[in-house]
Structure 1
Amino acid sequence: MVQSNGINFKGQNIYIGIDVHLKTWSVTIITQSGYKRKHSQNPSAKELFEHLKKHYPGGNYLAVYESGFSGFSTYYALQEFGIQCMVVHAADVPTTQYENVMKDDSVDSEKLAKSLKNGSLRGIYIHRKENLDARNVLRLRRTFLKQLGGFKSRVKHLLYNNGIMIPDCFSRPGTHWSRSFMKWLREDVVLLSSTRTSLDMLLDTVELLRKNLLSVTRQIRFLSRSERYANDFENLISIPGIGLLVGMCLLTEIDDVRRFRNEKQFASYLGLVPMSHSSGEKICNGEKTFRGNKLLGLMLVESAWVTIQHDSIMAAAYGEYCKRMKGQKAIIRIARKLANRIFHVMKNGQKYEYDKCR
Structure 2
Amino acid sequence: RVLRELKRMTKEHESLGHLVKLLQTVPGIGFVTAVLLVTELVDMDRFKRLEDLASFVGLAPSVHQSDERSYSRGLTKRQHKELRSRLIESAWVAVRKDPVLTMKFGKLSQRMNKKKAIIRIAKKLLSRIRSVWQTQKPYVYGVIE
Residue 39 of structure 2: aligned partner: 252
Q: Percent identity?
A: 35
Match of 1:235 among 7, 12, 22: 22
Residue 225 of structure 1: aligned partner: 11
SS at match of 1:323: helix
Q: In structure 2, what is the Cα distance between the partners aligned to 1:240 and 1:327?
A: 19
Code of the residue aligned with 1:235 in structure 2: it is L
Structure with more contact order per residue of length (Cα contacts < 8 Å, sep ≥ 6): 2
Q: TM-score, normalised by structure 1?
A: 0.38
Residues 91-149 of structure 1, C-alpha deviation per residue, up to 9 Å, x if partnerless? xxxxxxxxxxxxxxxxxxxxxxxxxxxxxxxxxxxxxxxxxxxxxxxxxxxxxxxxxxx
Q: Which runs of 5 or more structure 1 residues have no equivalent in the other structure?
A: 1-214
Q: In structure 2, what is the Cα distance between the partners aligned to 1:356 and 1:296?
A: 28
Residue 111 of structure 2: aligned partner: 324
Shift of residue 289, structure 1, vs aligned partner: 1.2
Q: In structure 2, what is the Cα distance between the partners aligned to 1:316 and 1:224?
A: 35
After the TM superposition, which parts of structure 1 deviate over 3 Å for at least 4 consecutive aligned residues?
Answer: 278-284
Shift of residue 277, structure 1, vs aligned partner: 2.0
Cα RMSD after superposing both structures: 2.1
Residues 200-223 of structure 1, C-alpha deviation per residue, up to 9 Å, x if partnerless? xxxxxxxxxxxxxxx111112223
Q: In structure 2, what is the Cα distance between the partners aligned to 1:312 and 1:295?
A: 27
Residues 11-65 of structure 1, C-alpha deviation per residue, up to 9 Å, x if partnerless? xxxxxxxxxxxxxxxxxxxxxxxxxxxxxxxxxxxxxxxxxxxxxxxxxxxxxxx
Q: In structure 2, what is the Cα distance between the partners aligned to 1:261 and 1:284?
A: 25
Q: Does 1:310 align with 2:114?
A: no
Q: TM-score, normalised by structure 2?
A: 0.89
Contact 1:310–1:356 under 8 Å retained in 2: no
Contact 1:276–1:284 under 8 Å retained in 2: yes
Q: Does 1:347 align with 2:134?
A: yes
Code of the residue aligned with 1:286 in structure 2: it is R
Residue 207 of structure 1: aligned partner: none
Q: In structure 2, what is the Cα distance between the partners aligned to 1:325 and 1:282?
A: 23
Q: In structure 2, what is the Cα distance between the partners aligned to 1:356 and 1:221?
A: 33
Q: In structure 2, what is the Cα distance between the partners aligned to 1:223 and 1:286?
A: 41
SS at match of 1:319: helix
Match of 2:62 among 261, 266, 275: 275
Matches for 1:196-235 after TM superposition, within 5 Å: 215-226=1-12, 227-235=14-22
SS at match of 1:251: helix
Q: In structure 1, what is the Cα distance between the partners aligned to 2:38 and 2:68?
A: 43
Q: In structure 1, what is the Cα distance between the partners aligned to 2:92 and 2:98?
A: 11
**1:313–1:355 distance in 2 versus 1, CA, 3 Å:** same
Q: Does 1:285 align with 2:72?
A: yes
SS at match of 1:225: helix
Matches for 1:95-114 after TM superposition, within 5 Å: none
Residues 142-173 of structure 1, C-alpha deviation per residue, up to 9 Å, x if partnerless? xxxxxxxxxxxxxxxxxxxxxxxxxxxxxxxx
**1:287–1:321 distance in 2 versus 1, CA, 3 Å:** farther
Shift of residue 278, structure 1, vs aligned partner: 4.3
Match of 1:262 among 42, 49, 61: 49
Contact 1:287–1:332 under 8 Å retained in 2: no
SS at match of 1:269: helix
Match of 1:337 among 109, 124, 143: 124
Code of the residue aligned with 2:102 in structure 1: it is A
The size of the alignment, in residue pairs, is 143
